[in-house]
Amino acid sequence: MLILTPLVVMFFLVIVDFGLLLRNWVMVSNAAREGARYAALGGNRTFSDIATKVVNASGGLLRLEDVGVAYENRPETISSAPTDRGDSVIVCARRAYTFPLLSNLFPFLPDVMVRTKVDMRLETAALGSGGGLSCS
């Protein structure tokens, strides 16, 4: 029992930490999707507007510096400008996840980088420009 109890406790800590990691991944992923959808509507949405949208959608998990926005020219469009209707707006986000429970027991445990990238098609030409993290 003396051997088993710590193992079981440890096991449940791993499960809880893993669950929290996945929860973070889903939230970051969903926030990036929200931002990309917002950006895909085009118009005069600036990088700051889009990044704020992502941060708000993440429930406080992300900060402005964790977000990147980029525009990319696609062959489906005629113009060479990367912000025309039909081009891509790419919103990426990343967040270093520290295991909140296990890192107390094992301080050497490395952080896990939660990354996501969403590429949506611009519905109207965008007047803003990209910024923040590099999404490549």
Beta bridge partners of 70: 90
**Least distance (Å) between residue 95 CB and other proteins:** 15
Site for other proteins, rule CB under 8 A: 1, 3-4, 7-8, 11, 14-15, 18-19, 22, 25-26, 29-30, 33, 36-37, 40, 74, 76, 85-86, 88, 117-121, 123
How far from 74 is each of 36, 89, 113, CA to CA, in Å?
16, 10, 29
**Least distance (Å) between residue 8 CB and other proteins:** 6
**Least distance (Å) between residue 93 CB and other proteins:** 12
- The C-alpha atoms of residue 59 and residue 43 are separated, in whole angstroms, by 25
- The C-alpha atoms of residue 77 and residue 105 are separated, in whole angstroms, by 54
